[in-house]
Structure 1
């Protein structure tokens, strides 16, 4: 496995991140401890060093398993976990992004993980309540204390992330180095604002859901049952068309549909580090097979076309011929071509 920098930091992480939401059976599904270790071991053997978990994954079992698995070589692993989601019912301060829950959650995660520090702490999602300044100052304090090395943010609007990093930069606080959101052939809406923002701010992108919750493996084309209801957007006419294209291209390239779906994300214009998870070690081994090839340009074009979305306003408006003419007075094409040549 190759390595790359985590955004604008100097931290080296592997090109695939291991998602461990399936570690533990507390939610009625997932992998038991023995199978979780087999999944972890397969990832380690492939050269991976980047692990993603969260305080609420399988009610804490995920963190406990991960902590035990990496204990013998803790400093090798880039360990990331999250806070925000509640881990005690009927107590308002056991959820959210405010300082009290942040500090409590981190200390609880450190105990479950049996470690003295977290390499990357994610804000799990934006709570629409806590002031941006409170969140960023609290995270900066955690880094200053050595409890956390880097910070990231997940499932949050682009304007919030931009505001947060701008405030952090001007005040000399630690800023987000990475962002996490759902992104796949079935979910390309991050291309409107989140991905351009990540590129502008030099944030690492670690997309989750790159196989569309399993839909892009073609299992719903085979009418396999699952937790996703039949009226889900993952099983509608459009998603079925996309999934069928993925299956067809996988057959052409002697690959599996999961490998095609993951590599589509990896081969986008932006640098991406997909989070791959599994409930069985054989599933993870299959996903890791994406490292052995690239999707040719023609097949990438087909995937892009079948899954394309409208960017909407103002993006479609700003690139329209009328706006170009009114803005540049006929000089747009010359200016555009000059920038490409430069």
Structure 2
């Protein structure tokens, strides 16, 4: 799209809006690196992952007797779309731990992590209550230690898969680049 806009004299794209949070990180495979390379800002939505990262769900919600009935609650929505899983609750547990260490809410920690990501220029938030956006305003005050950021990055890490894993292997680097490590250009 950038090339078409450039060739036609149109305004270029300026941002990429995708779901990105500690649970949904698949954009890190290709979309976020593409945006950074093309000079696009990344504007992630759903930093609290549908509320899963706020600490309002527990493992009991995974097996609640009425969970299958689907009565239209946020929990039912998260169960139905795969957002409420054991893996995701493990991530939420680490978010709660870090929030406790910092004296902030889990929602603030999730949003602050999002804002710390390379290329992120803003984060879109949604709110069901007036208290939620007020709470979110505390996110810029979150001051992570490097160890806390590393814990958060690690707990929600995804495998980049093909072709990233193959291209990162020593054997492939030796075959294609003579063993040199190719880095992205600096702007």
TM-score by length of structure 2 reads 0.85
Is 1:271 the counterpart of 2:120 in the alignment? yes
Asked if the contact 2:108/2:142 (under 8 Å) is kept, the reply is no
Q: Which residue of 2 aligns with 1:166?
A: 3
- 2:119 is paired with a residue whose SS is coil
Cα distance in structure 1, aligned partners of 2:54 and 2:40: 29
Give ranges in structure 1 of 5+ residues lacking alignment.
Answer: 1-163
* Displacement of 1:223: 4.9
1:186 to 13, 16, 23: 23
Cα distance in structure 2, aligned partners of 1:327 and 1:263: 38
2:75 to 228, 239, 244: 228
Asked if the contact 1:218/1:243 (under 8 Å) is kept, the reply is yes
Aligned residues: 173
1:318 to 145, 153, 167: 167
Asked if the contact 2:41/2:119 (under 8 Å) is kept, the reply is no
Q: Which residue of 1 aligns with 2:44?
A: 207
Cα distance in structure 1, aligned partners of 2:171 and 2:111: 38
Cα distance in structure 2, aligned partners of 1:231 and 1:177: 33
Cα RMSD after superposing both structures:
2.1
1:282 to 126, 131, 143: 131
- 1:213 is paired with a residue whose SS is coil
Give ranges in structure 2 of 5+ residues lacking alignment.
Answer: 62-66, 68-72
TM-score by length of structure 1 reads 0.48
The structure richer in strand per residue is 1
Rg comparison, structure with higher value: 1
